[in-house]
Amino acid sequence: MTFTELGAHPALARALERRGYSEPTAVQEAVFTPGLRGRDLLVSSATGSGKTVAFGLVLGGSLLGDAPAFGPAGLPLGLVVAPTRELAMQVQRELAWLLAEAEGRVVACVGGMDARREARALSDGAHLVVGTPGRLLDHHRRGALDLSDLRALVLDEADEMLDMGFRDELEAILAAAPEGRRTIMFSATLPKPIVELARRYTTDPARVAATPAGGAHADIAFRAHLVAPSERELAVVNVLRALEPPRALVFRATREAAHHTASSLSERGFAAVPISGELTQAERNRALVALRDGRARVLVATDVAARGLDLPGLDLVLHADLPRDPAALQHRSGRTGRAGRKGLAVLLAAPPERYKLERMLRDAGVRVEWAPVPAAESIRAADDARLAGEVDALSEDVSDDERAAAARLLSGRDPLLVAAALVRTTRARLPSPEDLTETAHAARQAPAPRADRAPRRGPPAEVAWFRINIGREKKADPKWLLPLLCRRGGVTRDEIGKIVIGAAETRFEVARAAATQFGAAARRPDPRAPGVRIEPVREVRGHGEHRAAAGGERPPRARRPVTRT
């Protein structure tokens, strides 16, 4: 189906044809569904689905009607509200070329830009205004933005704007717009606050599910790695080295972590830049331009800083820290796999985070492949194979001059040493992969994913008793004691038996076959918990009971046995 057949305004269809758009995307088709003409819309659509062109077509059709082009620009007829400067500027650029054939004038009003220049642009007249909530409301309150002629209003990424705390500004803008205008809300997800906002400020909105169930991530492959918390940043290095993505976006939970990771990657030879909320607009622009033109290949960002970024052609999204919820997972991962391109999202999870991640993936309807973090040995082997392939390719068509230079190079030298120097020179240009000993150990000890896990065995038959100096006074609980004991002792859940919590300490069983290994590992200092001590309870057998030699006391009886589940 062509855009003309879809029902797009002729001037907009010509603009799309000039840009090389031949067929509409799913969301562009959805908003032209029969029966939706002129109605308020609540559209759920994934990032990168072509929604800017979709609401541009709807706005153009609503505002132009049967007229071939817009008349002289005056008070704005349409308003688009977007969460961030970058997204608003991107939308302004898209709408400018889309409406160019119809002689539409599109003005941007965003934070961080010269407000006086924007006010002058508004006074010169505009058919459409695109902006961020705070700046638009500021212009309206100062009298520079008159909404009295407004006939259509679009909220782009409405869920993001609510998450960023723009509810008051959005409600003020919606309340100031004329009651008869058409309102269209686009949102990747439709949480309850969005539905409530639509209920209050739209008239009988039609819900449009432009992304079918399970289709939001159809072009994104998901992979997850277990990592030791202390080696999370090193795991980022190995993932980037193994995949060698032309463009990657790495998410960290805090501004400090984002800057530290970017600096660490740069020191290792990656072309990496950070982006966070405290950067000036000029600094943000420089970072984004560096990524787009290839001077940088890795952008390290926080959730807040990455909102609304225009990052076309992103090959990898690496969640170095887990997203906070399924919606954040969708927003982050949706940066890749856009406009029909395939993408990859990789998630790093510490062992205690695994079940949280599994629940998040299940709630988001995402299937994930669990795999070990790429090891340094496999990365070096891939480097060697790639070098061999390059040598084979380059040796197919060698000039006489190159042959002569090679003969001079080999004269009087061991060919093996010459090849070794070539390998060293090639490796020196690449960031060194990291040895992840703690991560490898954590992966070996971790239980299988829930779907693949074998039924848990019963408690061990032959056991040895140990004690840890944490009891009820320190809120001991088997839910977090069990992972701690497994980590400290290098054993699995199945090798821990009863856990009996006392007032000042907790005693627990360890399978006798693993007791020696457990005791040796547990005695090693733990920098993460320097005050926690684990030691064996020397046992004396008598009448089938376990007795402790120290003080002759038994493992303390709880009022009710506390066992792990």
The pLDDT value recorded for residue 554 is: 43
CB 468 within 8 A of CB 508: yes
Q: How far apart are CA 303 and CA 189, in angstroms?
A: 16
Give the tokens for residue 15. Answer: 């603009």
**Amino acid 225: pLDDT:** 94
Measured CA to CA, the distance from residue 476 to residue 517 in angstroms comes to 24
Rounded Cα gap, residues 356 and 370, in angstroms: 14
In the chain the domains, ranked by start, together with CATH numbers, are 3-209 (3.40.50.300), 220-375 (3.40.50.300), 455-552 (3.30.70)
- What CA–CA distance (Å, rounded) separates 201 from 178? 11
Residue 455: predicted pLDDT: 47
Contact call for residues 366 and 245 (beta carbons, < 8 A) = no
- Measured in residues, the chain has a length of 565
Inter-CA distances, 39 with 43, 392, 452, Å? 12, 62, 48
Q: Hunting for tokens 């007791």 — which residue is that?
A: 515
Say if CB 327 and CB 159 are below 8 A apart.
yes
State the amino acid at position 178 in one-letter form.
P
Q: What is the pLDDT of residues 262-307, one digit of tens each?
A: 999 999 999 999 987 667 777 777 888 888 888 899 999 988 777 7
**CA distance from start to end of the chain:** 57
Query: Measured between alpha carbons, how far is residue 313 from residues 84, 241, 265, 307, 320 in Å?
Result: 20, 19, 21, 17, 20
Q: What is the mean pLDDT of each run of 10 residues along the chain (565 residues)?
A: 87 91 86 87 78 91 92 95 88 94 95 91 96 95 95 90 87 93 87 86 86 61 93 95 93 91 93 81 79 88 74 88 86 79 91 87 86 92 85 82 88 88 83 89 64 54 90 85 85 86 92 87 79 80 39 41 47
Question: 343-349 and 316-319 as β-strands: parallel, antiparallel, unpaired?
Answer: parallel
- DSSP letter string, 57-77: HHHHHHHHTT-SS--S--S-S
pLDDT (0 to 100) of residue 549? 37
The reported pLDDT for the residue numbered 450 is 52
Query: For residues 332 and 299, is the Cβ–Cβ distance under 8 A?
Result: no
- CA nearest 145: which of 126, 164, 165, 159? 126
> What pLDDT does 540 receive?
43
* SS3 of residue 498 by DSSP: strand
What local confidence, expressed as pLDDT, does residue 556 receive? 45
Cα within 13 Å of Cα(134), Cβ side:
13
3-state DSSP assignment of residue 378: helix
Q: Find out whether 558 and 501 touch, Cβ atoms under 8 Å.
A: yes
Query: What stretch of H or E contains 184?
Result: strand 182-187
